[in-house]
Structure 1
Amino acid sequence: MISNNLLSGEISPLICNLQSLVYLDLTSNNLVGMIPSCLGSFSRSLQFLRLANNKLSGNIPETYVKGNSLQFIDVGSNRLHGPLPRQLINCRMLEFLDVSNNHFNDSFPFWLESLPKLKVISLRNNKFHGPIMCPSKCIFLKLHIIDLSHNEFSGNLSSEIVKNFRLMTSDPVQFKDDLYRFQQSSVDISLFLFPMFNKGGVMDYLGRQYLHEMVAIDVSCNKISGKIPDMMGSLNSLVVLNLSNNMFTGTIPSSLGKLSNLEVLDLSFNSLSGNIPQQLTELTFLDFFNVSFNNLSGPIPEDRQFSTFEENSFEGNKGLCGIQLVKKCEDHPKPPLPTPDGDQDSESGSFFELYWMVIVIGYGGGIIAGIALGNAFSGDVFRLFKIKF
């Protein structure tokens, strides 16, 4: 491990002569040039490849030997470009993939679903484009965190793609067990920075104690349109959901009130209309809520923690009224909560269109990862994954 030094120059291909190398960490140096193509195929022993925060350019290795042991790949914050190589499907042990803050230009890499252990995907701040979809059914069996923010994804977010995030509908205990296993390994989990967004900047979200329950989707700052799928309410392990800075229309699904573990919900800067569902007051762990700059109307719910959210969570909606705003409500009855028979309402049509999706999770060997969820006006202020050993 020779990270956080002043190394400069290019990475020598001679490094591939180290056939028994298990851990290669060259992060946060001043390395330039291309990544040696042999790094993907020179050894079956290499488990950790960390080259983030340098000035590397060109493509990432396109050849990965079958039967390799790669579990962690982080090439974030460089100058890399091109498509993601499909030969990554040979990395059957891969759990963590971070290519954020580069210049990759590709469509949604649906084929990553074939990796049986993949838990974290960060594509943030690149030039990925097109719809977030699979040509046929795809299932991300182990996914905990996905960050697709700050790209050029477009089209609708289908209920089908939401269904495919299987683990997010699982019992959170399963996720905790995975991370407990990571903690017992040789690398200490020592940092969990979870910035959360706010108008005009970034503030720290004190959620470090919830590392073991972290499940997140961030698709913010894209061009996703259509309705938020009602199916989103079935992802009952979600802790963070960021759909901000897209082109979502329709109403806020009342089904989001079923996300009992949710702590962060950002729907700001879209074209959502209708009322704020009274069902959202059931989100008793919700610490951050933002629906600013939409076309919402009616009274802001006053129950439970909703009375603690400030004006900037609701500004930019001319039709809203409430105790948080200059415009107070007059003679607006509260929308009734659903009866046991009828849990859905007219807002329950479609389900979730990705603008923010993102998710990071610390991987194997006890790695710790941080996730940053961004607002359109603070895109370059934060970095989704911060890993410290």
Structure 2
Amino acid sequence: MREIPREIGLLTNLVFQVIDQNRLYGSIPSTIGNLTKLYDFLALWDNQLFGSIPPEMGNLASLSTLSLQRNNLSGKISVSLGNLSDLTTLYIFKNQLSGSIPPEIGNLKSLDDLEIITNNLNGTIPASLGNLSDLTTLYHYKNQLSGSIPLEIGNLKSLVNFELAINILTSSIPASLGNLSKLTILILHENHLSDSIPPHIGNLKSFKTLVLYTNTLTGSIPASLGNLTDLTTYTLWESSLWFHSSTYSKLDKFEKRTFV
């Protein structure tokens, strides 16, 4: 195993760096923040890196993709990542990161794909994520996130895939999710979400997958779900939801290709 040498910071003309899957060991040196001409990829994924994300990474203002997934990184997500104004992809999943998601992530207006799954993150989901108007994929599942799903998520009109499963989220599913006209996947299982499914979900004409099992949802399943002509899978078991007769008749056409 080898470490990333501090001398890497001397390569100040470097514009592209991929050193993934190389069994790298040790911490990410702060000198990596000297590589200010990097404009495309910084990929360090699938190694054995540990320690924190150095705040100096916030100097890489022209970076479009930052891939740090599948390591053993710990500590908090550096607020300096909010300086990466050209970033379109941020992968930091499958690490041991803790603390809360910094609100500064909401400054990344060009972000298309944000995946922070399988860490030890806690605290609430910052409302500032609602500023990410280009976001198509938002994966935060398998953490310890708490509180409610921010209403501002309903501002993400480009969102296609949305997963927050296996956290400790509470409160109700916000009706503002009905504004996400491009959404195809909504996965919120294994939380503590309560109240009823908002009928506004029936506005999502592109919807294909709805997974809500193991929550504390109550009330009747809204008949508006019958408007979802592309729906192929819905899983709602381990809840107190019930079918009103009119709802069941609308959903009956999905009976052979869904799971309840």
Residue type at the aligned position of 1:103: Q
Structure 1 residue 116 corresponds to structure 2 residue 120: no
Which residue pairs with 2:147 in the alignment?
155
Q: Trace 1:307-346 onto structure 2 (pairs within 5 A).
A: 307-310=255-258, 313-314=259-260
Structure 1 residue 234 corresponds to structure 2 residue 179: yes
Paired residues of 1:236 and 1:260 also in contact (CA < 8 A): yes
Residue type at the aligned position of 1:234: N
- Give the Cα separation in 1 of the matches to 2:216 and 2:65: 38
> Which of residues 267, 270, 281 is equivalent to 2:212?
267
Distance apart, 1:67 and its partner CA: 6.8
- Give the Cα separation in 2 of the matches to 1:108 and 1:133: 7
- Give the Cα separation in 1 of the matches to 2:33 and 2:97: 18
- Give the Cα separation in 2 of the matches to 1:113 and 1:164: 12
Which residue pairs with 1:335 in the alignment?
none
Residue type at the aligned position of 1:153: L
> Which of residues 34, 40, 45 is equivalent to 2:27?
34
Paired residues of 1:284 and 1:305 also in contact (CA < 8 A): no
- Give the Cα separation in 1 of the matches to 2:52 and 2:60: 22
Structure 1 residue 165 corresponds to structure 2 residue 112: no
- Give the Cα separation in 1 of the matches to 2:237 and 2:19: 41
- C-alpha offsets along residues 12-34 of structure 1, whole Å, 9 cap, x if unaligned? 22333333322211222311111
1:66–1:11 CA distance, 2 compared to 1 (3 A) = closer
> Which of residues 298, 306, 309 is equivalent to 2:254?
306
- Give the Cα separation in 1 of the matches to 2:253 and 2:31: 54
Distance apart, 1:250 and its partner CA: 1.1
CA-based RMSD of the aligned residues comes to 2.1
SS of equivalent residue, structure 2 residue 131: coil
Q: Any unmatched runs of 5+ in structure 2?
A: none
- Whose relative contact order is higher, 1 or 2, with alpha carbons under 8 Å and at least 6 apart? 1
1:166–1:109 CA distance, 2 compared to 1 (3 A) = farther
Which residue pairs with 1:251 in the alignment?
196
Distance apart, 1:11 and its partner CA: 1.5
Q: Runs of 4 or more off by more than 6 Å in structure 1?
A: none
Greater helix share, 1 or 2?
A: 2
Distance apart, 1:265 and its partner CA: 0.9
Distance apart, 1:140 and its partner CA: 1.7
Paired residues of 1:139 and 1:164 also in contact (CA < 8 A): yes
SS of equivalent residue, structure 1 residue 227: coil
Which residue pairs with 1:146 in the alignment?
138
1:11–1:46 CA distance, 2 compared to 1 (3 A) = farther
- C-alpha offsets along residues 313-372 of structure 1, whole Å, 9 cap, x if unaligned? 22xxxxxxxxxxxxxxxxxxxxxxxxxxxxxxxxxxxxxxxxxxxxxxxxxxxxxxxxxx
Which residue pairs with 1:281 in the alignment?
226
Paired residues of 1:286 and 1:305 also in contact (CA < 8 A): no
- Give the Cα separation in 2 of the matches to 1:258 and 1:77: 37
1:245–1:67 CA distance, 2 compared to 1 (3 A) = closer
Q: Any unmatched runs of 5+ in structure 1?
A: 1-7, 169-214, 315-389
